[in-house]
Amino acid sequence: MGGGILRRISQLSLFFRRQAQTVSNFYLAFSNDLAIIPVLNKIDLPGADIDKVKQQLENAFEIDPEEVLLASAKTGEGVQDILDAVVRRVPPPSKAIYGER
């Protein structure tokens, strides 16, 4: 199963509009019992409405707004929070992934 951690981090733009890819990726991760780390990116943009998008995520996916991480790839804000969340929330790979028994 390629992609590992990247498949488990759900990065969302602050201009979330229930895009088919976002919805599909969420349900793919959810149905495979993967850890989901919701991240709002682009928080540095003017007009970013963080609270509105958190509410949309709660309504669409039942994601607790307190669990949503905030980030800006441009400024680097929130990057350490994302890395810390990966360590805390994503379990180590099972032996089955590496073909061990």
Q: What confidence tens digit (pLDDT) does each residue in 57-95 have?
A: 888 888 899 999 999 989 999 999 999 999 998 888 776
Contact partners, residue 33, CB within 8 Å, separation at least 6 = none
Task: Check residue 2 and give its pLDDT.
Answer: 41
Q: How far apart are CA 20 and CA 35, in angstroms?
A: 20
Prediction pTM value: 0.73
Q: What is the total residue count of the chain?
A: 101
Q: Detail the DSSP E strand segments found in 1-101.
A: 9-13, 37-41, 69-70
**In contact, 71 and 44? CB cutoff 8 Å:** no
Q: What rounded mean pLDDT belongs to the chain?
A: 78
Domain 4-98 bears CATH identifier 3.40.50.300: yes
Domain boundaries, the chain: 4-98
